[in-house]
Each structure stands twice: as C-alpha cells, then as structure tokens.
Structure 1
C-alpha cells in the first residue's frame, strides 16, 4: 500500500534531524539512569551524571572567567551547546525530549534540516549567554529546554506570518509562549526558581529572530529588504 503514489501516511514522519537530536538526549539519559542503578558501567557509573554536568554543563562562573581573562578555550566554548544534551533527572530529559519532538516536527516540516538544527543550537547558545549574563551565582544550567524554546520561537514566527497573511491580529502568535511563561511563573512561586527561565526566554527570542533568516527564503527576503533600504 505504501508503494501507491497516491498513498499518504496518516501521520507525517518526524524530521530526521529532530529524531537524531531526540535520540542523543535519550541515549545519554539512558546511560546515566542505567549507570546510577548499577546496570551499566560498573561502580564508577554512579557518578556519570555529575561528571557530565561538571564537564559539559554551563555555569555562570565559566562565562565570568572567560570574559575576565579574555580567554575562550574550546572545552569551555562547547559548553554553550553541550549543556543541552545533559539533564538533571530522567523526568527532566523525558519532558524536554517530548517537547523537542512536538515542536521540532512542526518547525522541521517547514524549515530544512540544516535550518532546524541551526535554530536549535543557536537557541541553546543564546540561552546560555543570557543565563551567564543575568543569572549570577546560580546552579549549573543543563537541559534542552532553551533549545526547545528556540523551536517555540520558530513556531511563533510561522504563526506570526500565517496570521499576517490572513489579516488577523499577529500578537496571537505569542499565545503559546505567554502561556508557558505563566506556568513557569506559577511553578517558580510555588517551588522556587534557579534562574533557568532566563535561558528559556533567551532561547525563545533567539529562535524567533533567527527564523527571519533560517525560514525558507528568509535570507533572500532579508537581503532584498536591505538592498531597498
């Protein structure tokens, strides 16, 4: 049946780059979880998660040190994106992975593979920069959520365009991010916050702005607009 040229799958497949990002997150988390339970890697595997956070997580002290000394070693620069593939708990990774699949599918069905990956990584880096500049003295930043919020930025951009084409009020495109920020505020008031919401906002803003260039034809449109100016 699938060989029929008129056949269309009832559910569109997940874009390969989104699936690859999801699998990296899940494989890393599986190694941490199995190691912590003594099912993989021997006794030293119990500390895999903490070691990974120390080696690949992002911390404001790391950024402060680089800015103060004017030195930017590769092992620290990689932290601006590598932190997105290390999570604090299994639940943390599960929620991030689920949102990555949902938002990544929507954006990846419109953006090409490279643009989708670039959007995710740019948002991770921007989230780390915002966190490093504004969240002084806070714990390690880990997890894919700033990158996921960047995909929400891409989703918002697409909705913003669509509403504009329909002649509708474009501010409605920001309904999703507004709802998520309210939820974060409530959770922060109830359970406390470590400042990682700053990274999420940074990721969202970067994702929305980057979409002007990364969306199909976006760079050509931007170049044409600059020429006319």
Structure 2
C-alpha cells in the first residue's frame, strides 16, 4: 500500500512541478524537483499505510495510469493523437481500474501489482540503457513548452515494450499461483466455524444439563 501511495502522490507532484517550471528553472531546481515529489510521496505512503482501504483503490488507479501510458506509447505520434481524447483516456483508465477493484478486488490487485512492477522495471532499465523508452512517458505528462521532448519509437523501444508485456504475463501467472486460495482486501470472507466432534458435543451437553434433585424415600 505504502509504495503505491508514494508513487501516486509523488508522480502527481512531479507532473505539477514539471508543467509549471519556469524557463530558468526553480531556485535550487535539482533539489526542488527531487525533494518535493519525494517528500509528498512519503506523505502519500503514510496515508495509504494507515488508511489501507484507500490504498487498495490507489493500487488500481496507479495501474490504470501505467496501462494508459503503456498503450499510448505504441506509436511515435502516440496512439491517440487528439489532445482532448488523450487526456480523457489518461483520466478514465485510473478511474476504471479503481472502480473495478471494488467488484473484482483480488484479481485487480494481483493484475495491477504485476503490471506496475513490470512497467517500473523497464523504465528503470531505460534510465541505464538510454533507449528513449521513458521519453514516451514524458511526452504525455510533460506539456511545458519550455521542455523539448523527442520520442522516437526505435527498435530498442519496441524491445522494452515487448519485455514489459512478457514480464507482466510471467508476474501475473506467478502471483495467481502463489496467492491461489487466499482472500484479502476490503471484503473479507468469514471463515466457517469448526464443527465439534460428537463426543465433545455430548460431554458439553452433560456438563450444561441441570442435575435433578435426589429423591430419597423416607
């Protein structure tokens, strides 16, 4: 829960700072762009850890946003070219995933954690390999005219997109196998009351039964 609270509030803060960043940058720009999202991300982590019911839906919302970003990056000019339609799609998917968590809680949580994990892993690989995979995400989230973001859908980017899908499928299958038969989340399954053995029930009946008074003939 805490990790997804950190991701959610930290990402929202980073998007706001990036899009409002002046051309000359903030005062202590590097520290501001790192420390402020990290600090508010920690706050989000604490909130989701304490109010864990909210954290369940945050997991779905983060996965919905990651899924929307992933889908849109499959074309160099983005899958949805219209700005309005793109914003609607990016807004709707987190809401759909969060809403689906209420009805398909267990499955949505497992699928969401699998996809977000795979997506973050490939983004981390791109930070080291510099393939341009993360530029697609920045193209969608960074609309600051002072920032020039060039997204080129190269062969290496296609490879990372495919790796994301592969890791997601593997992780999803493993999680469903490991969590088979386990119930968790907002809606609990009340365990069945264990049945007592007939002998124990008979002894309990004898203990609880009232004793009859002794009848002695005079």
> Does TM, normalized by the shorter one, top 0.5?
no
- Which has more helix, going by share of residues? 1
TM-score normalised per structure 2: 0.31
TM-score normalised per structure 1: 0.30
